[in-house]
Amino acid sequence: MFEKIRKFLSEIVAEMKKVTWPTREELKESTKLVIIATFVMTLFVGLVDQILSLIIRRLLGW
């Protein structure tokens, strides 16, 4: 059992050495992009929600 665990962990280390890690600048740019995309999607979903709520309220006569 311990041999299987040791083999598994050594395979993990081997795979992690193959990974191409982003530079600090690439990471900053990706983070900015994710934050902006999240903000834009939040605005879009909020706007659609408000419009649909208005339509439903008018249809139901509230």
- 38 confidence band (pLDDT: 50, 70, 90): very high
Contact 8, 16 (CB under 8 A): no
CA distance 56 to 49: 10
Q: Please check the confidence at residue 43 and state whether its pLDDT lies above 90.
A: yes
Average pLDDT over residues 25-42: 98
What's this model's pTM, rounded to 2 decimal places?
A: 0.64
Contact 22, 30 (CB under 8 A): yes
Q: Please check the confidence at residue 37 and state whether its pLDDT lies above 90.
A: yes
Q: Please check the confidence at residue 32 and state whether its pLDDT lies above 90.
A: yes
CA distance 29 to 39: 15
**Residue 7 has which token pair?**
């083999």
- Residue ranges of the domains in the chain? 21-62
